[in-house]
A and B are shown apart, each in its own frame.
Chain A
């Protein structure tokens, strides 16, 4: 019980703080307004009691008609005045309330997004985490609900307090009875919430899978294959099976839990009938007036409902404990495995991998005891078989993962000692699976260095570097055009090769000491490929270049080739040396070269 109260208070405080942070003035206004409005039922009942009593007096001829009518008229006028002002207030408050809740939603969404950006990439590698991430997003939704509830809890407390004061004045034994009868609901509700949450969690993966299947059918990229191979029906069937399972489980769950909820309401309903009979009895023995009937039964009914809703929100807050804790866990999640040091990064003079091993979480080893070094200005090429760990190596260097063994050194110091942000600023990367964002050309390039957002000359020269979308475009073309037509119909559509060029421009604008390219020319035609590689070689003389590629022709001009095989470095050296000494490399090179003879 004490644990529950503690949980309730903690969760309440957490939610309230969020509410308060999102809109300080608004929340205070809202609470004040709600308090004012919550007085209304009492005034209503009280005035009604008087009018009915007066009417009863008239009917029993104990009061002169004229006098009574005047008094009733006065009461009605007061009633109307209060109602009119409150009606206006309430109506208006509800609208403002909606608006506030919307801003609250944004605030929280923004917080969640900001937080999620601090989470490691490795988080995305596990299905369990994916479920969690999804759950967190859903929890964010429950947090919204919780916040509504928190606001409501505050007004139900006020309402309940007013009720209990009035009810105790009438009859404390009955009041106690009303309260006691409602209490068991608390235990039940708390458990129910927990059960609901467990149930929701158990369905997460199937729900996500069903969503994936139905999204596949609408997927732009999959559309061609789905039509050529006629797999649409298969996918739809699979969707139906998965979705049916989810729906059936849900239905079963609804049916089961429902009746219990009703049972807990029955004692209160019985008590309310008994109270009515009791009040009627008191009226008949003339202990109470006839106007008291609506008044007293009204107060007890309100006592019941206000306590009940208070319990609902309290039990939910406690029952949501796990949900909120999960959310907090996500919300407050620190940076995880990749730690940022505070050492400043001046220049990257030397990179060294020393016995670095790595495996993705819960997965086999991808890199096995890798050691090499890259000096400043060196042009390095990573080559090797598919799946030999080249891309992983780059992910480690860009610090998306922490090595499981060994160290990566920059200028002789452990990479994790450096400030992560500063380190990344010194590097430019074109990832193998780069994205083209549905923004303007300017934005897509400037993402590489947002300080240059307004530097049109630089943006254009970066575009020219990669030979983006033909020369004539670069000098006069509008760089504020969107790169697709998702949001703007004036947008231009880019081919695969053009997208790759845009990604290269993004890396180039960064003007960093070091540039990393993961298969930058896979989709480029021979002429563009040759041009871009030549440009890199001539313009990046004083820069460090690390490139992953399967085109061994590019290796000839490189300072150093690192050949990877099965997560290990099986050969390292300049092209000449490797070609002379390392058989597999020579074989692969000749394989490609021969075809050009």
Chain B
């Protein structure tokens, strides 16, 4: 029973929440929609009522000595009323369709924006951590459901109206025992139906994982990014078999419920029929006795049926409201998440002089491996610094902490000897520009792609040109287009430019260079560049204005010679640090890595 109550309170809570969202998105459409739905119900009963009167009038005319024209006139009035009501229903239904279509549009737009805004508040950790990312994805799936629930509410309100009208007519025109009998006989169906839907929805909710797998598989098959591999490795059978298996597993469960529970449910729907027949027979008797009129027969017959149907639908609506419970919960959870990184700092920052990590430990949320293990180092932010080390050593993590995508578990990061958390986070980020290892080329214009790093100055063509030139891609771009508005992909425009892997990296470098930041951070910026471009870009980085610093992660140790200071990271610790020459003389890990690369060139020249 407690479970039952908590379940119902949950439904109500979700309902109110959904209502709030829907009302905020567009109250007009929603309210008008509800009103039309209610008016339609009233019109339905009016038509029944006028039909009853028509039959009564006809019967009266047949059994009295009224003149034909008088009788026709009398009947005509009722027919006219019926016609008016049904025409009104047609109009209202059309209007309702539009209103609900519009409501849907406004709702989608509203909720997408709301979610996007929420998403912007969240830390990177939400994206790095699969469980959090899952939360985002689930919320996106859940958002549609909010509107479903609200539609259910509209139907529910309509059904209550219908139920109350039918009940009051039945009570006024027949003995109260008949509605009671009908409702009593409907009751078992009520229970089985509720149970049926609960089973169905519980099952559906338990199958969310499989459903996500199914859509992932479909995406693999239909997607652009996976097109080459899926075709080359002939993954068709492998993938479609997987798809089919998941689906069969899911459907067999639904089937079980429908075949068994559905049969029981259908069986119980026949009981109300008995009640209606029983009650209507007494109406017949009353007519026979002269206590009721002919029209009452068809009238009450419809009213009794509606009474039972609307009663049953009430439960169905309630059950279907709980259908979306999990989905709404997912959405709700997402909207209530708070960022981990505390944005409390207020301190402004002018120039970044010294960056210091002191005993910093860091483990990604909900993982076990300690990525940074008590690491300490100092960098002069105005010099050219490098971080090297084997794959997975923790190099990129240092950058993520420095840009405050995460906060440290223990230890401190200092900028100019003040803890980084005391600074205004936006000011800190303004001081840096970066090329991340997994940069993005946006399916937007060249201008957007370059100026994103400082888009308040997006209309400064000269600066964009300078950035393109810096990344050695100006000539390549302008041999193909003369317009900065050209898109960097052909996903959306016919005249877009498709770039090769190396060219994409150059765009990312140009974006980083566009921003006049004090410190540039570059995570493997030259991995896909040809030797000439790599050489020239690295040289330019080195010649950067005296006051602009650089922190570069690279596996190409040849680039290290021009660096002022090098950190060698292994297993989350600094194992060596110093200038290139010093590290070579030390003959440790750095020396080994360097010689592995260098030897290969010695034999060739």
Contact = CB atoms under 8 A, between A and B. Distances in A.
B238 interface: yes
A527 B391 CA distance: 9
A277 B57 CA distance: 13
A524 B555 contact: yes
Nearest to B263: A92
A347 interface: no
A125 B367 CA distance: 39
B391 A528 contact: yes
B167 interface: no
Given A65-B288, A386-B529, A525-B555, A391 B501 contact: yes
Contacts of A306: none
A58 B59 CA distance: 11
B61 interface: yes
Contacts of B558: 592, 595-596
Given A84-B273, A225-B436, A386-B533, A218 B136 contact: yes
Interface string A546-569: 000010111110000000000000
B577 to A, nearest CB: 18
B540 interface: no
A3 interface: no
Query: How many B residues touch the partner, as a band?
Result: 35 or more
A497 B405 contact: no
B130 A247 contact: no
B120 A232 contact: yes
A80 interface: yes
Interface stretch (B104-112, B155-163, B322-330, B373-381): B104-112
B440 A221 contact: yes
A258 B559 contact: no
Interface in A531-587: 550, 552-556, 575, 579, 587
A73 interface: yes
Contacts of B79: 273, 276-277, 280
A474 B243 CA distance: 29
Interface in A435-483: 435, 437-438, 447-448, 450
B418 interface: no
A386 B503 contact: yes
Interface string B229-246: 111111111111001100
Given A277-B79, A293-B55, A386-B506, 8 more contacts: A80-B273, A116-B221, A121-B227, A229-B452, A386-B529, A424-B232, A526-B596, A553-B597
Contact of A231 (B235, B255, B452): B452
B455 A234 contact: yes
A102 B266 contact: no
Contacts of A398: 228, 232
Nearest to A210: B112
Interface stretch (B2-10, B172-180, B426-434): B426-434
Contact of B284 (A72, A234, A522, A589): A72
B99 to A, nearest CB: 9
B436 A224 contact: yes
A512 B298 CA distance: 81
A526 B438 contact: no
B251 A487 contact: no
A469 to B, nearest CB: 9
A391 B119 contact: no
Interface in B279-321: 280-281, 284-285, 287-288, 290, 294, 297-298, 301
Interface residues of A, number: 168
B228 A589 contact: no
Contacts of A254: 98, 101-102
Interface string A262-280: 1001100100110011001
A419 interface: no
B247 interface: yes
A360 interface: yes
B244 A493 contact: no
Nearest to B236: A117
Interface of A is mostly: helix
Nearest to A597: B598
Contacts of A201: none
A410 to B, nearest CB: 16
A525 B594 contact: no
Contacts of B221: 113, 116-117
Contacts of A484: 130
A114 B115 CA distance: 34
A196 interface: no
A88 B94 CA distance: 32
Interface in B193-247: 209, 212-213, 216, 218, 220-222, 224-240, 243-244, 247
B214 to A, nearest CB: 9
Given A277-B72, A528-B390, A212 B604 contact: no
A595 B503 CA distance: 23
Contacts of B529: 386, 550
B218 A113 contact: yes
B127 A526 contact: no
A363 B134 contact: no
A125 B218 CA distance: 20
Nearest to A92: B266
A176 interface: no
Given A214-B116, A280-B79, A486 B134 contact: yes
Nearest to B429: A228
A222 B492 contact: no
A362 B493 CA distance: 12
Given A121-B228, A284-B62, A588-B532, A114 B124 contact: no
Interface stretch (A47-55, A148-156, A161-169, A368-376): A47-55
A440 to B, nearest CB: 12
Contact of B294 (A52, A137, A596, A597): A52
Contacts of A73: 281
B436 A550 contact: no
19 contacts: A55-B287, A55-B297, A92-B263, A99-B255, A126-B494, A221-B438, A228-B403, A228-B432, A235-B116, A254-B98, A254-B101, A261-B94, A391-B501, A447-B235, A528-B390, A528-B391, A550-B530, A550-B531, A592-B531
A564 to B, nearest CB: 10
A345 interface: no
Interface in A180-236: 205, 208-209, 212, 214, 216-236
Interface stretch (A7-15, A127-135, A321-329): A127-135
Interface stretch (A31-39, A350-358, A425-433): A425-433
